[in-house]
């Protein structure tokens, strides 16, 4: 996994921000087909099972993506920040969302009709290639998350998630990296598919070992290398910071 980024994270520093993948003129074409929408924290942009047909560019705020299982369990597989594009395009086979999107911090969105974006993809070849490059990278991010969740057990999954949170929302402090995004233990549990009680035990274990510390409800990573050992990320040589994110 990549070394966590330090310093305040914003849309300009987000390496997955969609505008990084396009020239200024190309991104201007995307902005021209957007219409604005403001959404309050706690609101749902769309529910799992609702029809697709729109993409959402996150100008500000934060949005969590949640998947529900048939037995009633929830799984949080991403927390988007400013600059991200929430994209679940129609592929000819499915026309409903596979997950729900909930706003966790007041958000300003740019809403894009998929049919309008399709026109740009058909009309401009280089634009289409760059959009494909972005989608390929997003696929790598998702693939790497599930790899860590499946291969290294719950402690490894938690360690990997903490490193990814540090890469996405890490702020340098005197003795470590403070994760600015405030998450409950229940939300952390939903990120790795376990129970809140299991998360409590693992976090207490990491605190007892001096690997992390809790300060005002936020996690501070004191020993990054210890987390890397748990999820065996020193063996991974091809995991740039653009991929090692939450």
pLDDT in tens, 215-246: 888 999 999 989 988 887 755 555 677 788 88
Q: Specify the pLDDT at position 85.
A: 94
Are 147 and 119 part of one and the same domain? no
Residue at 7 is within a domain: no
* pLDDT per residue as tens digits for the range 86-97: 988 666 556 888
Give the pLDDT band (50/70/90) at residue 12. Answer: very low
Higher pLDDT, residue 102 or 1: 102
pLDDT value, residue 15? 73
- Given this model, what pLDDT does residue 237 score? 52
Domain contains 93: yes
Q: Is the pLDDT of residue 2 over 70?
A: no
Q: Does 189 lie in the same domain as 105? A: no
C-alpha distance from residue 234 to each of 3, 192, 214 (Å): 11, 21, 25
> Same structural domain for residues 151 and 226?
yes
Mean pLDDT (the chain, rounded): 86
% of the chain surpassing 90 pLDDT: 50
| Residues in a beta bridge with 38 | 108
Q: Looking at residue 94, what is its pLDDT? A: 64
Q: Which residues of 163-178 are buried (b: 16+ CB within 10 A; e: fewer)?
A: bbbbbbbbbeeeebbb
Shared domain for 28 and 117, answered yes or no, is: yes
Containing structural domain, residue 168: 143-231
**What digits encode the pLDDT tens for the residues 35-45?**
999 999 999 99
Please count the structural domains in the chain. Answer: 2
Q: How far is CA 187 from CA 7, 64, 70, in A?
A: 24, 10, 19
User: What's the pLDDT score for residue 173?
Assistant: 87
Which CATH number do you get for residue 172?
1.10.10.10
Q: Looking at the domain assignment, is residue 44 inside a domain?
A: yes
Tokens of 11: 């849309």
Check residue 123 and give its pLDDT: 95
Element (H, E) at 170: strand 170-173
Mean pLDDT computed over 130-150: 86
Q: Are residues 40 and 116 in the same domain?
A: yes
Q: What is the pLDDT of residue 93?
A: 55
Q: Are residues 91 and 180 in the same domain?
A: no
CATH number reported for the structural domain that contains residue 78 in this entry = 2.60.120.10
Domain match, 119 and 166 both: no
Of residues 9 and 15, more confidence is placed in 15
Residues 137-164 have a mean pLDDT of 86
Check whether residue 115 and residue 147 sit in a common domain: no
Q: Are residues 28 and 109 both part of a single domain?
A: yes
Task: Please check whether residues 119 and 147 belong to one and the same domain.
Answer: no
Q: Do 117 and 156 fall within a single domain?
A: no
* Tens-digit pLDDT profile for residues 197-215: 999 999 999 999 999 999 8
Does the pLDDT at position 140 exceed 90? no
Q: Terminal CA-to-CA distance of the chain, rounded, Å? A: 12
pLDDT of residue 193: 85
For residue 90, what pLDDT is reported? 65
pLDDT band at 5 (very low <50, low <70, confident <90, very high): very low
């Amino acid at each position: 996994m990549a070394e966590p980024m330090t310093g305040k994270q914003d849309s300009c520093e987000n390496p997955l921000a969609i505008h990084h993948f396009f020239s200024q003129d190309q991104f201007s074409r995307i902005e021209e087909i957007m219409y604005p929408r403001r959404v309050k924290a706690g609101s749902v942009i769309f529910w799992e099972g609702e029809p697709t047909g729109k993409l959402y560019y996150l100008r500000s705020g934060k949005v969590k993506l949640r998947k529900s299982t048939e037995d009633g369990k929830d799984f949080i597989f991403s927390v988007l920040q400013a600059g991200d594009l929430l994209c679940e395009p129609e592929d000819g086979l499915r026309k409903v969302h596979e997950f729900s999107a909930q706003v966790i911090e007041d958000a300003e969105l740019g809403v894009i009709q998929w049919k309008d974006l399709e026109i740009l993809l058909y009309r401009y070849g280089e634009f289409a290639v760059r959009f494909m490059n972005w989608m390929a990278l997003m696929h790598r991010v998702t693939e790497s998350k599930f790899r860590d969740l499946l291969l290294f057990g719950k402690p490894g999954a938690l360690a990997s998630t903490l490193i990814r949170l540090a890469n996405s929302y890490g702020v340098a402090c005197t003795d470590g990296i403070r994760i600015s995004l405030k998450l409950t233990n229940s939300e952390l549990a939903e990120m790795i598919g376990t129970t809140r009680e299991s998360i409590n035990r693992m976090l207490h274990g990491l605190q007892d070992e001096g690997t992390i510390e809790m300060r005002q409800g936020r996690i501070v990573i004191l020993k990054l290398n210890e987390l890397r050992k748990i999820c065996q990320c020193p063996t991974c040589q091809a995991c740039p910071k653009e991929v090692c994110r939450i």
